[in-house]
């Protein structure tokens, strides 16, 4: 079993001196996972869509002023200041970023870190941020997420990558260097819903839910065991050995 914690990307501690101190101290204490949340732009008005509070209201005071460091840039910075801990996006909203550039950024950071990246992936929950960054339509976020993850894998594992999807098409290209980790950096799929579980079973190396989703609470051992049984049954339906899917848990 491994343990980790979130590095602050917003609020008073989101500065280089504090981030370096927290990351190095965590590594020295034996934590092996350093996690970085994802936001690019914080809209001034946000609807009640936040999935991890009972009333749907965003309750993170660290985002109140709109400050947020970009997670992939932060991942590279944290990798440069640490030696052993793996750095995890927790989680990156996949539709926000063009997939070929994202795949190259992760591959580059994997090289510079000595193979310490983990790509935590989610479909997103904030339609206002989708609009602000001109991502594909919020209503299509699940399909976009699945396709972009498939693109990452194609670029990371195929010597002559090509792809013909609904949102992106390419062929006749080099993609080098590949990530150090083979076949590719681990992909952890966030989310507690059945679609997220199916995404984890079909495309993930680990399932990475949060325990405090009011619609899908995982805050007791019986609930956690039931969720694990569910995702194992989904793996069976997808003709995947459930033992090949790692289990992670984000405790809030």
Q: Where are the domains of the chain?
A: 4-185
Q: Which secondary-structure segment (H or E) carries 149?
A: helix 141-157
Is residue 61 over pLDDT 90? no
Q: What is the mean pLDDT of residues 142-167?
A: 98
Strand-pair partners of 190? 208
The architecture that CATH gives domain 4-185 is Alpha-Beta Barrel (3.20)
What is the band of 6 on the pLDDT scale with cuts at 50, 70, 90? very high
Give pLDDT tens digits for 237-251.
999 999 999 999 999
pLDDT recorded at residue 139: 98
**Residue 11 contacts residue 60 (beta carbons within 8 Å):** no
Q: What are phi and psi of 15, to 5 degrees?
A: -140, 160
- Of the ranges 37-51, 167-181, 233-247, which one carries the lowest mean pLDDT score? 37-51
d(CA 176, CA 41): 30
Q: What is the mean pLDDT of residues 145-157?
A: 98
d(CA 88, CA 2): 13
């Amino acid at each position: 079993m491994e343990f980790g914690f979130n590095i602050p990307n917003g609020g008073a501690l989101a500065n280089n001196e504090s981030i370096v101190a927290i990351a190095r101290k965590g590594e020295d204490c034996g934590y092996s996972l350093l996690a970085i949340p994802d936001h690019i732009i914080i809209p001034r008005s946000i609807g009640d869509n936040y999935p991890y509070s009972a009333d749907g209201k965003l309750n993170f005071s660290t985002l109140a002023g709109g400050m947020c460091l970009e997670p992939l840039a932060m991942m590279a910075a944290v990798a440069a200041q640490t030696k052993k801990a793996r750095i995890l996006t927790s989680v990156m909203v996949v539709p926000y970023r063009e997939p070929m550039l994202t795949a190259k950024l992760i591959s580059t950071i994997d090289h510079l870190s000595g193979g310490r990246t983990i790509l935590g992936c989610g479909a997103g929950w904030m339609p206002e941020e989708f609009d602000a960054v001109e991502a594909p339509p919020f209503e299509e976020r699940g399909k976009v997420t699945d396709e972009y993850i498939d693109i990452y894998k194609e670029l990371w594992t195929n010597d002559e990558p090509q792809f013909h999807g609904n949102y992106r098409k390419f062929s006749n290209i080099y993609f080098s260097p590949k990530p150090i980790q083979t076949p590719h950096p681990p992909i952890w799929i966030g989310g507690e819903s059945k679609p997220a579980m199916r995404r984890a079973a079909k495309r993930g190396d680990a399932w990475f839910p949060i325990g405090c989703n009011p619609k899908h609470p995982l805050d007791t051992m019986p609930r956690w065991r039931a969720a694990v049984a569910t995702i194992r049954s989904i793996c069976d339906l997808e003709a995947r050995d459930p033992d090949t899917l790692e289990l992670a848990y984000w405790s809030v």
